[in-house]
Amino acid sequence: CGRGLASRARGMGSQVIVLEVDPLKALEASMDGFDVMPMEEAIKIADIICTATGNKTVISVEHFKKMKNGCIVSNTGHFNVEFDYGGLVKIAKNRRHMRDNLEEITLEDDKKLFILGEGRLINLASAEGHPPDVMDMSFANQALAAEFLVQNQGKLATGVYTVPQELDDMIAALKLKSLGIKIDVLTEEQKRYLASWNEGT
């Protein structure tokens, strides 16, 4: 979720800073070209903050106090516990309803913060859910996985299975076709090479 958010935000022209607790994910973000830094540094310079962690109280009341005036805060990762909205409300000097799912909170120092969706999942609270260009692939995957289970009834041992690669490939190919995107195809020689260790160093 966070990786896609960062990528899409950068694609729309944002300068994205990634905050991580996982060393490997932080390194991946850095190698993908994102700035990576701790919350204490990022919180002071961010114009828009969107949590995508799946964890609790990632943004505390103390963090809210350090944010820039006019900072916009939202959550796209988990339930409404990712940031301490309740704690923020308690220290608010003033609260103003700006429009549906947008609240202006003024702190004691007259700093204004803009909270989207009261900390609930923003793509569900303030929009119409997941976009169709994502859900069509998800539903296709579910439908074809169900068909696979029916066709293989009695042949599979009890357990959890990943969706067969052929189904993922077929869905991806259909999606590309619907978007008018063409890609190259491996030659038979290339397929044989990739399937063996008989050539190369």
Give the domain range for residue 174.
132-194
Specify whether 92 is located in the same domain as 141: no
In this structure, the answer to whether residues 185 and 114 fall within a common structural domain is: no
pLDDT in tens, 9-62: 999 999 999 999 999 999 999 999 999 999 999 999 999 999 999 899 999 999
158 and 83 within one domain: no
* Residue 11 dihedral angles phi and psi, to the nearest 5°: -60, -25
Is residue 16 in a domain?
no
- Residue 96 sits in the same domain as residue 56: yes
Taking the complete model, does pTM exceed 0.75, yes or no? no
CA distance linking residue 31 with residue 42, whole number of Å: 19
Does residue 23 lie within any of the structural domains? no
- Structure confidence at residue 131 as a pLDDT band (50, 70, 90): confident
Instruction: Specify whether 119 is located in the same domain as 170.
Output: no
Contacts of 44 (CB under 8 A, 6+ apart): 66, 67, 68
List of E strands, 11-87? 17-18, 35-36, 48-51, 72-75
Structural domain includes residue 53: yes
CATH code assigned at 80 = 3.40.50.720
Domain boundary pick from 101, 125, 149: 125
Q: Is the pLDDT of residue 196 over 80?
A: yes
Is residue 103 over pLDDT 80? yes
Domain boundary among the residues 125, 145, 165 is at: 125
The number of distinct structural domains making up the chain is 2
**Residue 123 confidence class, pLDDT cut points 50, 70, 90:** confident
Q: Same domain, yes or no, for 61 and 121?
A: yes
